[in-house]
Amino acid sequence: MEIDELLTKRPVLVTGGAGFIGSHLVDALMRSEVEVHVLDNLSSGNLENIKPWLKHPKFKFMRGDLLNPADVIKAVKGVGAVFHLAANPEVRLSSISPEVHFEQNLLATYNLLESIRKESGIEYVVFTSSSTVYGDASKIPTPEDYSPLEPISVYGASKLASESLICAYAHNYGFNAIIYRLANVIGTRSRHGVIYDFVRKIRENPQKLEILGDGTQSKSYLYVDDCIEGIILGYRSQRARLEVYNLGSSDWVSVATIARIVVEEMGLKDVSLQFTGGVEGGRGWKGDVKYMLLDTKKIRSLGWRPKLNSVEAVRKTVREILRESQ
């Protein structure tokens, strides 16, 4: 995977670089001999994810919080590009603790942008947004220019608001921005989401598996390695001040199918699948987008193709979670 000259002439900052997707991005950048700085408060990230690089001369880890402006100012010093992946990823928190997503997603992004504005020399900001910004889209697959954008969770709203801030700062303060609206990214090191939850529940009770919703919820799942390749390719191919890309597989899979794959991979047969029925037409929880499939023609036009479809990504992830938790 080639990395262009900009990423090798100055250090790169990865916020949330000890987390799930962030640590995989760090791996790709470090293997390409980029100097990488990571800012992470370790609330959901883990130093084990970046352990191979902790003593590397081109790697620097800073334990700090985007809600602390002093930490952010220190982190952006001297870097040429910022990959902003830090966020609270638990969508379900939206209906219980909306302040968490406001603070850890939106306010954190504002603090980062303010520090970037004050630090000269930062040319690129890359942001991982979410498919949840589309809400219950009436057009599926959903393209980047779909409107109106009506997120139905505070998580989705915080991501969309962050996109807007990044757009405004890019146009006003002279840096380039790339926004990725991600499908459900899964794979090794993941410690949240439906697959992880199913494995945990079955280990607690091998006789039954509670499934939130009616089981027909269907979404696109993207393996993390394919996600990282898309992020870097989009960065290297940027043509405009602001670019927005959907990143996801070209198919989707239902929650019920995921449950059956988990049961099968765990070598079990008589597990009773118990659907809660959910809320508002079978959603898993209030604010859960029931159907999500992204139109990825734009990123595919650059030559990107995911190696795994949704079912293959799910099956591989189940095996990795089982192996990692042995």
> H or E stretch including 157?
helix 154-173
Checking if the pLDDT of 112 tops 90, the result is yes
Checking if the pLDDT of 91 tops 70, the result is no
What average pLDDT does range 25-33 have in this prediction?
96
The end-to-end CA distance of the chain, in Å, is 32
Q: Which residues pair with 243 in a beta bridge?
A: 178
Compute the Cα dihedral for 12, 18, 23, 27 and give only its sign.
positive
Q: What is the pLDDT at residue 51?
A: 97
- d(Cα 14, Cα 20) in Å, to the nearest integer? 12
Question: Helices 108-118 and 154-173 meet at what angle, rounded to 10?
Answer: 10
Q: What is the DSSP string of 27-88?
A: HHHHHTT--EEEEE--SS--GGGGGGGTT-TTEEEEE--TTSHHHHHHHHTT-SEEEE----
- d(Cα 81, Cα 97) in Å, to the nearest integer? 32
What average pLDDT does range 77-82 have in this prediction?
96
Checking if the pLDDT of 28 tops 50, the result is yes
Q: How many CB atoms lie within 10 A of CB 6?
A: 16
Q: Residue 94: pLDDT band by 50, 70, 90 thresholds?
A: low
Largest CA distance in the chain: 61
- d(Cα 98, Cα 158) in Å, to the nearest integer? 10
Q: What is the pLDDT at residue 258?
A: 98
284-319 per-position pLDDT tens digit: 999 999 999 999 999 999 999 999 999 999 999 999
Domains of the chain and any CATH numbers: 5-185+221-247 (3.40.50.720), 187-219+251-291+307-324 (3.90.25.10)
183-193 per-position pLDDT tens digit: 999 999 998 89
Q: Which of 124, 134, 146, 155 is catalytic?
A: 155
Checking if the pLDDT of 326 tops 90, the result is no
Mapping DSSP to helix (H, G, I), strand (E, B) and coil, where does residue 110 land? helix
- d(Cα 105, Cα 298) in Å, to the nearest integer? 26
pTM: 0.95
- d(Cα 32, Cα 4) in Å, to the nearest integer? 10
Checking if the pLDDT of 270 tops 80, the result is yes
> H or E stretch including 292?
strand 291-292
- d(Cα 113, Cα 18) in Å, to the nearest integer? 20
- The radius of gyration computed from the CA coordinates of the chain, to the nearest angstrom, equals 19
124-155 per-position pLDDT tens digit: 999 999 999 999 999 999 999 999 999 999 99
- d(Cα 64, Cα 46) in Å, to the nearest integer? 13
Is 134 in the active site? no
Asked whether the beta carbons of 120 and 49 are under 8 A apart, the reply is no
Q: Residue 9: pLDDT band by 50, 70, 90 thresholds?
A: confident
Checking if the pLDDT of 8 tops 70, the result is no
- d(Cα 152, Cα 137) in Å, to the nearest integer? 10
What average pLDDT does range 195-208 have in this prediction?
95
**Environment class of 114 (CB within 10 Å of its CB; exposed 0-12, middle 13-18, buried 19+):** middle
Q: What is the DSSP string of 174-214?
A: --EEEEEEE-EEE-TT--SSHHHHHHHHHHH-TTEEEESS-
Checking if the pLDDT of 95 tops 80, the result is no
- d(Cα 80, Cα 72) in Å, to the nearest integer? 15
DSSP 223: E
Checking if the pLDDT of 2 tops 60, the result is no
Q: What is the DSSP string of 243-264?
A: EEEEE--SS-EEHHHHHHHHHH
Q: What is the pLDDT at residue 3?
A: 52
159-168 per-position pLDDT tens digit: 999 999 999 9
What average pLDDT does range 243-259 have in this prediction?
97
